[in-house]
Amino acid sequence: MPVVEIPTEKWKGKIREVTLGGGGRKTVVVGGETTLPFLHFEGEMPNRPVIAIEIQDCEPDWTGRLVSAWGDAVKDPASWAKAAAAAGADVIALSLESAHPDNQNTGAKEAEASVKKVLDAVDLPLMVFGPYVAEKDNEVLVAAADAARGTVVALGSCEEKNFRTIVAACLASGHVAIAKTPIEINLAKQLNILITDMGLPADRILMDPTTGALGYGLEYTYSVMERLRMAGLQGDGMTGLPIMVTPGEEAWRQKEAKAADGVPEAWGKIEDRAIIWEAMTATSLLLAGADVLVMRHPKAIELVRATVDKWMAK
């Protein structure tokens, strides 16, 4: 048999490593790749992609099937964090949803209390998200940053309109910023430049390129991530950062994950379809370069973890 010479890519860049946790808590390192996802024959993937399980600081308005998967744990962020840890979370992603003006419009004090509760309940690293309303994000994330002083948490979202406040909080308390941009490679790079110009080192940034779920713009996120990752591997220091995506939130917003009735029979059984919707959104984005997945359903999480195990086995 003739020997076939396998072409390999000689990437000169390396994705930066970002560390979360520490200060007496478990540590998680993401990034560090010198090749495209799971192509171990031509480069290193020193850190496996991690799964952050999303919990909220108030009872979620999620679809019933998803809420019941967590049972009574959702009634309190501490019990929910423990349940998430038991479900195998690498990181806890705490959404301060109650701060949304349309929700309970809670403020800094409640945010601080929720963060402390979760930190006390589990020893996993933490990510904290605001309610995606810039003014409120500023208020509650600054409080969260202060409450989590001493360990490294990731704070999001840090967007073009509020990055100064969030980055300042990261600088003051030693945290990581989650830089969110709307599915576009140049905007992502630009925000990273703005953030590093403020003095936050690039290894304290996670990129959130905005997630499209399966059937709802997945292909845009997928291709923007492939382009970001390839630019990073080619040596562009302002795109070569770990990528965080939110397949849980996005998949469970869609009818395919929520609607049992009034949908075509060809969609199949909701129980199976909903889980696949989240899991396949996640695995597809892993193939495009995701380093951190924020997920919701325990069964989907289990499937994705098993898949990552298989990809990482050499």
Q: CA–CA distance from 287 to each of 146, 234, 244, 257 (Å)?
A: 35, 18, 13, 22
Give the interface segment with other proteins, choosing from 24-32, 78-86, 186-194, 214-222 (CB under 8 A): 214-222
Q: For residue 9, how many other CB atoms are within 10 A of its CB?
A: 13
How many Cβ atoms are within 10 Å of 183's Cβ, its own excluded?
16
For 12-32, the DSSP string reads ---PPEEEEE-SSS-EEEEE-
Q: Indicate which single residue of 179, 218, 238, 295 sits in contact with other proteins (rule: CB under 8 A).
A: 218
**Closest distance between other proteins and the C-beta of residue 171, in Å?**
27
- Nearest by Cα to 212 from 270, 284, 162, 269: 284
Q: Which is nearer to other proteins, 38 or 70 (CB)?
A: 38
Q: Map tokens 């701060």 to a residue.
A: 99
Q: Strand pairing of 17-21 and 27-31?
A: antiparallel
CA 121 to chain centre: 21
Asked if 264 interacts with other proteins (CB under 8 A), we say yes
Q: Mark residues 92-131: x for contact with other proteins by CB under 8 A, - for none.
A: ---------xx-----------------------------
Least distance to other proteins, CB of residue 174, Å:
30
Shortest approach of other proteins to residue 139 CB, angstroms? 16
Is 63 one of the binding residues for other proteins (CB under 8 A)? no
**Do 260 and 271 contact (CB within 8 A), yes or no?**
no
CB of 105 to other proteins, least distance (A): 11
Please say whether the beta carbons of 229 and 15 come within 8 A.
Answer: yes
Could you give the string, one character per residue 127-156, with x where binding to other proteins holds by CB under 8 A and - elsewhere?
Answer: -----xx-----------------------
Q: Is the dihedral of CA 267, 272, 278, 280 positive or negative?
A: negative
Q: Closer to other proteins at the Cβ: 4 or 24? A: 4
Binding site for other proteins (CB under 8 A): 1-7, 38-41, 101-102, 132-133, 212, 214-220, 222-223, 226-227, 230, 253-256, 264-273, 275-277, 279-280, 283-284, 287, 303, 306-307, 310-314
